Amino acid sequence: MRLATLLNLAFRSLLNRRVTGALTLMAVALSVALFTGVEKVRQGARASFERTVSGADLIVGARSGPINLLLYSIFRVGDATANMTWRSYEEIASDPRVAWTIPLSLGDAHKGYRVVGTDENLFEHYRFGEDQTLTFASGEPFRDLFDVVLGAEVARNLGYRIGDDIVLSHGLGEVSFADHDNKPFKVVGILEATGTPIDRSLNVSLPAIEAIHVGWETGAKTPLATIMTADRVRSLDLKPDELTAMIVGLKSRGTVLKMQRDLNTYREEPLLAVIPGIALSQLWETVGIAERLLSAVSACVIAVGLVVILVSILTTLNERRREMAILRSVGAAPGDIFFLLVLEAAVIAFLGALLGLLVLYAGLMGLAPLIQARAGVSLVGLGPGVFDLVVLVTLMGLASFMAMFPAWRAFRNALADGLTVRV
């Protein structure tokens, strides 16, 4: 009963100080929103990266850096510096240790979304999240030369349906200056959302990539490209010469290190094979310093929020001596006065944190599509979780701890004042 009484008093006294109370709450809310937001996005980025490659044993591409290879092949961040040959691809694919391979040929775009040349293995063997395969929201895999399968986000954001015709662009700009406009593609399939970069890609067959680049061998459009219409180009041999990278699945995990070494010392051309998990942890090491710095800064903001709570209580202490004397007169012990102020801090921390989390989730809901589009980070699984609860409880604990200082002063005043305030 005593606790309920004091809690009610703490809450009501806070309500009474509307302006300063609101400002304090706002400061706490913002600090919590910032701190939790940074942590969420950090964890979200990691989770989203980690769920993108599941079940792949090796990523193979032309020799560059492991992180670089992982970033451009799987996460579609940055560009490949060189390609690998189709001959190497075929050789690796036929290695007895290899169970399956997925070829990836990047370089073209459609309205800012990447076009990926691949084959049916993508739909059969690609794994993401907890060993999930790609599934079709509608339609089916590409079969014809000019068929395209859209990622969920591409279809949603550009409003495409099965049967629509689309024109791909050369290069990766959002605004294209060179279109493959005489070779339109037909949408035959739309994938379910995966929370991976697949959602933002247009998947076509490898021959299709060759087909739209007939006449573009120099890197720019030649008259040949215009002459070779969609119908004419079908008669050509469209076997690719090179590709950007490949994903390799092995029959047995035990052979992965040996296989990696064999590929890294490949005789025909300089190749690089990386184990996705290891490359990812290298990536985290690289960005770790910046991450920690960001965390430290947001933790400092939390500290500022706590100081604001402390100040808000300290400044009212003197003008509340009369109130404390009244409470003493109706039976409150000095310990009750102490506890009342600690409770006030805890209530401010609780409400502030709650408000902060609300602001954060409202903000995340609003910003998630933008972050996904701009940074390629899908904020999947960023709903309220245990972490928020930990933040809330910790903040309440810290605020209560710090409030012991003003509470102690009020306790001493209560003992010295008696029933009359001796200022």
Partner 1 sequence: MIDLSLLRFPGFAMVSSGSSSVLLLEEVTFAWRANEVILHIPYFEIGKGERIFLRGPSGSGKSTLLSLISGVLTPQSGKIQLLGTNMTGARASERDALRARELGVIFQMFNLVPYLSVLENVALPCRFSAARGLRAKQSGGSIEGEAGRLLARLGLGEAHLRGRKATDLSVGQQQRVAAARALIGGPGLILADEPTSALDTDARGVFIELLSEECAARGSSLLFVSHDLSLATHFDRTVDLCAINAAFSHAQA
Which residue among 135, 265, 329, 394 contacts partner 1 (CB under 8 A)?
A: 329
Map the footprint of partner 1 across residues 334-353, applying CB under 8 A. 334-336
Q: How far is the CB of 401 from partner 1 (least distance, A)?
A: 23
| Two tokens, residue 82 | 């060189």
The DSSP 8-state label assigned to residue 313 in this structure reads: H
Map the footprint of partner 1 across residues 391-420, applying CB under 8 A. 418-420
Q: How far is the CB of 14 from partner 1 (least distance, A)?
A: 9
The DSSP 8-state label assigned to residue 418 in this structure reads: T
| Residue listed under structure tokens 């290879």 | 69
Q: How far apart are CA 366 and CA 369, in angstroms?
A: 7
Q: How far is the CB of 331 from partner 1 (least distance, A)?
A: 2
Q: Are 195 and 48 in contact (CB under 8 A)?
A: yes
Instruction: Give yes or no for residue 15 binding partner 1 (CB under 8 A).
Output: yes
Instruction: Give yes or no for residue 22 binding partner 1 (CB under 8 A).
Output: no
CB atoms closer than 10 angstroms to residue 177: 9
Which residue among 331, 366, 374, 423 contacts partner 1 (CB under 8 A)?
A: 331
Q: How far is the CB of 8 from partner 1 (least distance, A)?
A: 8
What letters, b where the CB count within 10 A reaches 16 and e where it falls short, cover 241-264? eebbbbbbbbeeeebbeebbeebe
DSSP helix, strand, coil percent of the chain (3-state; round to 5): 55, 15, 30
Which residue among 19, 175, 296, 330 contacts partner 1 (CB under 8 A)?
A: 330
Q: How far apart are CA 369 and CA 365, in angstroms?
A: 8
Instruction: Give yes or no for residue 9 binding partner 1 (CB under 8 A).
Output: yes
Which residue among 134, 328, 340, 377 contacts partner 1 (CB under 8 A)?
A: 328
Q: Which amino acid is at 88?
A: S
With H, G, I as helix, E, B as strand and everything else as coil, classify residue 102. Answer: strand
Instruction: Give yes or no for residue 19 binding partner 1 (CB under 8 A).
Output: no
Instruction: Give yes or no for residue 326 binding partner 1 (CB under 8 A).
Output: yes
Q: Are 344 and 403 in contact (CB under 8 A)?
A: yes
Map the footprint of partner 1 across residues 283-322, applying CB under 8 A. 322
Instruction: Give yes or no for residue 327 binding partner 1 (CB under 8 A).
Output: yes
Q: How far is the CB of 329 from partner 1 (least distance, A)?
A: 4
User: Of 57 and 336, which CB lies nearer to partner 1 in the complex structure?
Assistant: 336
Binding site for partner 1 (CB under 8 A): 1-2, 5, 9, 12-13, 15-16, 322-323, 325-336, 418-420
